[in-house]
Amino acid sequence: MDTRARPALRLRRRNRRAGGDAIVARRTAPTVTRRCWRRVLLAALIVPAAATPALGADRAFEIASEHLDCRYSTADRSAESSAAETSGPLEGVLLPDNDVFRPLLADQREPRFYADYRRIHFNSDSAVLAEGRGRSINAALVALGGAFGIWGLRQPRGCDGLQVSLFGVALSQFNLDTPELDLLNTDYLVGPEVTLRRGRWSGRVRFYHQSSHLGDKFLVNYGLANGVQRENLSFEILDVLGSVEDTWWRVFAGGGLVVLNSSTRHLTSTPAFIQWGFELRGPVWEPWDWLKNTRLRPVLGGNFSSVQAIGWTPNGSVSGGLEWASPGGAHRVRLLVEYQRAAVLFSQFFFERTQDFGAQLQFEF
């Protein structure tokens, strides 16, 4: 065998290796190019994604600044001027997110959330709801309710227009002087309402069902043994209320009728009632730096009524305290002191008169 051919073979192998390496090198260039494109595409995706939250925040701020709580548009000069500047033709709105009629501050039967403590003094010697504990009890009153907008005919950015809503509320009363904190009674109110606004003027029309139910604990622990019979107190009410307001004051008046009655008390023979009242709102107060993005203000309200079924004797309730809210926000928290001299506004014992004094924590949405 001729061994001189081996170096040539080795040389050819080296050339193959070199050629292979050259081929590998030629393939490397497209690979690097693809990696560069991937980085470019990744950067193109990341940059807009990173910028989107900031743009969304700016847009959200813009929307929030234009949003008006039309229930209180006249109570804030800036909101009132904004509503006037952006007034326009009315448009149909499905599921509107804020109403045009301001809830009554001192009406204990207004659909809202609240919890309060009261010292209730019954003027009558019978004082059935006191459960044999004298003529005065410590009581807790709780309300769970609100209104839900169904449809509205509203200005796109103003506050004039009307709205159709469905409202409901459950009002419960507890005797805190009993070992088991007896539930005395629960009232249920539910029905449709139509609210409207034109500048400083606003109004509300409601047709609703009310039913009252004595508490089982009250009946078992005291009522049945003392001759209390549960009545099926249930009726339908039509009421109308009108209001005029300015920056710091508001007055309202109206009335209603019991139009249907399925209870043992024939309220349709004496169906009428009237209602009136006032509200005052003080200047904004910012006592601490950490509350600079919220607003505190003093508020005072009075609600009065007369019911034909109890001889048109006036009933009165006055509430005053502090309101805490964010500028332009719809959520409000109030801490109020209350005094009431009126007939019992719940249960089948509405003919009994009481005097109440207490405090209430109120939430409005």
197 close to 181: Cβ distance less than 8 angstroms: no
pTM of the model: 0.77
Q: What is the pLDDT along the chain (365 residues), one digit of tens a residue?
A: 444 444 444 444 444 444 444 433 344 444 444 454 445 444 443 433 344 333 333 333 333 334 578 999 887 655 555 555 555 688 899 999 889 999 999 999 999 999 999 999 998 776 788 898 889 999 999 999 999 999 999 988 788 999 999 999 999 999 999 999 999 999 999 999 999 999 999 999 999 999 999 999 999 999 999 888 888 788 899 999 999 999 999 999 999 999 988 765 667 788 999 999 999 999 988 777 777 778 899 999 999 999 998 889 999 999 999 999 887 778 999 999 999 999 886 677 877 889 999 999 999 98
User: Strands 91-94, 314-325: parallel, antiparallel or unpaired by DSSP?
Assistant: unpaired
CA gyration radius, the chain: 35
> What is the b/e burial string over 263-285, where b = at least 16 CB atoms within 10 angstroms of the residue's CB?
eebebeeebebbbbbbbebeeee
Domains of the chain: 70-364 (2.40.230.10)
The Cβ of residue 309 has, within 10 Å, a number of other Cβ atoms equal to 17
For residue 134, give the DSSP letter: T
> What is the b/e burial string over 68-93, where b = at least 16 CB atoms within 10 angstroms of the residue's CB?
bbbbbbbbbeebbebbeeeeeeeeeb
> In 3D, which of 111, 225, 96 has the Cα closest to residue 159?
96
